[in-house]
Each structure stands twice: as structure tokens, then as C-alpha cells.
Chains A and B, each alone.
Chain A
Amino acid sequence: MTDEIEMTLAKYIAEKILKQPKRVISSEDRLISSGLIDSFHLVDLALFVEETFRVRMDDTELNAQTFDNLAALAAIIRARQTPQ
């Protein structure tokens, strides 16, 4: 994984959400539909994304339809960081 956003997200999820720092999460691993991130931690992830990347995530976007892996979440973040 070379993408910096994905790497930052993977580190946060492994350390803070899963509390398994050594856990490797790849770009395509299913995050929500697999239960890796349970519903109680979705809001943590949203708060982290907002603080770290300075982009807004709406609570209606916290589901597997909007993003279910690091690649999709990173794409959303990147699109919102790009000045319109």
C-alpha cells in the first residue's frame, strides 16, 4: 500500500479501533460489511477523518454502501480535499 491516506486510515483502524497494532489492513479488505468496524466505531472513524483530513463526513454516509474498504474511503476524502 503506497497511498498515504490509506496508510493513515489503516494505522488508525488497527491501533485505535481494533486495538491490534500489528493487524494489516489492505486496500480492498471489507471494513463494514465484514464487521471489522462495528457500528459503535463508525462515528470514531468519521471524527478521525474530519480532524485528520479536514473534510466533512455526513452520518448518513457511514454505511457499507458509501464505503466498505480503504480505497473507497480514501477516494471520498481525496475528492473532498480537492478545491472545486
Chain B
Amino acid sequence: MPDMSLFFDLGVVGLRIILPLYAIVIVYQCYAAMRRRRRPEKPLVSLYNTRTGGMLPVVFWENSIGRSRSSDIVVSDPSVSRNHCVLLRRKAGWFITDVGSLSGTFVNGVKVTGRAQVLIDDIITIGTTNYQFRRGDDFQSPLRSSWFFSKVSDKPAIKAWKLMLMVTLFHFFMAAEAMFWNDGTNVYSPLILFFALAAVEWGFFSVSYFALRRVNFELEALGLFLTGVGVMLLVRQVERSAYVQLIAAGIGIAIYCAIIKFIEDPDKVNKLRLPLMIAAVVMLSASIVLGKVTNGAANWVYIGSISFQPSEFVKTIFIFIGASALDTLQTKKNLIELIVFSVVCVGLLALMGDFGTALIFFVTFLLIAFMRSGDFKTIILAVAAAVFGVIIVLWYKPYVANRFSAWRHVWEHAQDTGGYQQVRVLTYTAAGGLFGVGIGNGYFKQYFASESDLVFALCAEEMGVIVAIVLALSVALLMIYARAITTRCRSTFYSISACCAAGLLVVQLSLNIFGATDILPLTGVTFPFVSCGGSSVISCWGLLAFIKAADERTYSLKR
């Protein structure tokens, strides 16, 4: 009988080479799909200046009107305040809100208090200028569109089901590779896991396609792709965790759908801020009181046999609290409420010893604060306060610094806790080469936290550094997407929450990857979607919901 080992070897090596290229294609297709199938850029309504006869296009769902050059609609009239009023579109029609102007805003001669509805042909008086409210079609000149979106005439995006098929096939390849590296008794377990994963993926797809009748699925496909990679990586490590992770992903997807439904009306959510803030503080306090110290941080709560990290869920609430609609943003300018809430959250996390999450919250706070106020002074002040706080902590608790003393010197600490994990991350990342040693064939999986905080190395060793970097970039690119759709959101509530959710994911990703590879100090946070950890994957899907909600089609278009 001829020697078949060369044949098998070639097959497995072939698969290993295909996977990274295939991962690139999938991520490319997801983003290509996000760029396509948009409505053409044209005004929603327009404003006709009754005196000059000029026509102003109204292109956003929420528009600030004022003398300030950064207003969405600039009225150069000395009697108009810098930020005069906000014109916004809701389900019930168009509304105008005065945001504390000196001279007031009038609709058909009646002074606006609170939100006043505006109908076609109504006369809006701002300062001494009168505008007639007209349909969007009345404005004819073409408008500029963001570079991110392809032209309407370009070929349509890949069909959602085809994209899903590609994602599923990728996971199947992973299963096939894992089957090759077996111990004789568990040949088919990756295949069984794969079928369970495929069932979740296609179940979600069916719900989205048939029940919710969503027009697009690329964001979900990307989330499923990342989640699935995380699940399949576990099959040759702790198989049970793979199923726990899959169940958590299912819960995460359910929460994803629930959040999207929950924040459908950007005005109603405002009322829920206070209860949610209290819930967040209660949850964080609970983990201090009930939490058990695990790996230096008391951030786990155990209820019966189920354990979870409340701080993960608070991330979603944090984003929610931070965002609001444009008229609220312009009337209620002070950040005191947000600052107090952030200080409490960051403080509680620091008390738990979870410095990684505390840092994520702090940076996210900076992002939210800046997105809301545009005020650099606040940012600088906050950073200064934080630096001061850190110095005080180090003054009174110098041992905290010891945790980070090995930073940039990990090779000198290869055998002590300072650098033990990082040097192994580097070694096994390099050992995998560009294409990895095969799923289940690595050794890094034996190390503690290899499936969670250090998953970058697990992925790089077994699937190659290309896949690991592609996964990382695919998460980072969410930010580019969130920014591209910023002005096309139905409310600043969505634009701010989407950008900050994406920002939070990027910060978390940076701490995860750069912490593990000794570019930053190791703090122990998870790789979004991929790391094993139920709470983490649920919170990632929760954050993804904000980005999905920012897409105007999510609510306004049905298939």
C-alpha cells in the first residue's frame, strides 16, 4: 500500500494555507456589503428662504440650526443664536425644538416651546429669517457622499445568504482541521460542534431574514464569523467550554435583538437612563460584595453554578447612558451626570482590582464626553484627574505598580508572574508562522487563560498570525463603519452610541492584544467576540446592537 501520509500532510497544509486567505475574503466581503445598497444621497426635506428665494437642503435626520459655522444648517443672520434650534425627523413626522435661543423659534408665527411639529409648507421663523418647509424633491443639486459608500450604480452587494454560507464553510474547514488532530477517541467531536454552531448561525439568519425581515445581515455575519472562530478554537482545548460559549453567543444574539428593539425610539430611552444607572452601580457593587477574587480581580459573581462578570454588562449600559438625541445634547450641555456616573463605575472597578476594565471605561468615558460636548478642556481635565488619581494610588499602594513592573522587560521575567504569560504568547505566536500549526495541534492551549485573555496567541499558533491579525482588524474596522454611517443615523443617539461602542471594542482589543504581546502592560481583558467567556461574548453582541441600530435601514426598511 502506498504511503498516504504525504497525501494527508499535503491536505492539511493546503487547508492551513487556504484558511487565512479565506478569512481575508470573508472580512472583505462583509465590509464590501456594508458599503453597498444605500439610498442615494438626497435631501429629506428642504428649507425655502422666503426673502432671498434660496433653497437649503436638509440631509440629516437631526439637524442643528444656528449661526455657528459648525451647525448642520448655517443661518447667517446676526439675530440668530449660535445654536438656535434643532430640526428633527421622527416616526410621526418632522419636529423643531428651540435649544435656548435668544430670539426664539416660531412655526407659523407661534413661538415654539418644547417640540413643535412642522408640516410641509409651514413657515419657520428663525431670528429675522423666514423659511418655508418644503419637500426634499424640491432641491435639485447633487450632494456629496462619504467615501466609504460605493456609488449607487455599483454592482449590488453579495447576497446575505451567500455571505453566511461562506462564514459557515470557514467554520467547517476549522472543524475539518481539528478532526485531523485527534487523540483517537474524539475524531468527530469537532464535526458535532460545527453542526451545533451552524444551527445557531442559520437560526439567527432565519429569524433576521424571515421574522424581522431585515434587509441586510453583514454586521451579524461578521459577528457570527468571529464568535464561531472563538467557539471552534475551543473544541480541542476544553470541549465543554465550546458549548457554554455557544449558548452564551445564543443569549448574546437574543440580547442583541432585544436592545435593537428597546432603543427603537431615541426619545423614550431618555427616561430609562436613571434606572439603568442605578442598575449598573448595583451590579458593580454586587460584584464587590459577592464577588470572589479570581486572578487578582474580584469581578466574578457566582449564583448557583452560573458565574458571570457584571462589569461586562455594565459596558452596554455605559454606552446607553452616554448617548442622547441632538436636541437634548444641545439643551443639556453639562456633563456632570455622566462624570459622576463614570467616576463611580471606574472607581468600583479599580476597587475590584480590574484595572483593564477600569481603563476601558475611562477611555470610553473620554470618547463619550468628547462626542457629546466637543470640549477638549473636559478631556484634558479628565486625563489630568486620572493621572493624579493613579499617582495617589501608587503612592499609597506601591505594590500595584509591581503588577506592571515587567512591562517591556518580559524576557527578564520569563519564569516569574511578571512576564510568564507574555513571553509564551510571543513564542507561540511566532511558532505558528503565517499559517499556523493546525487547530488542535498547538501547545499554547495548555496554558492558563490561553482561551480568554491570551486568545490572540492561541489563534496565531493554531491558525497563523494572518488570521489573528485579520480578526483583530475586522473588529477595528467596525469603527470605520460606525463613523461612515454617523451622519446617516436616525439620531445622534445612534451615532454617538455606535461610535463609542466601536471605540470601546477597539480599546478592549488594544488592551487584549498589546497587553499579551508586551506592547502595553498586561491587564487581562478579553478579545471581543473571540475570547472564551460567556459574559464577554454577550456584552460584545450587546455593543454590536448599537452599531446595527445606527444603520437607518434597521428600523425604516423592511425586506
Q: Do A and B bind each other?
A: no
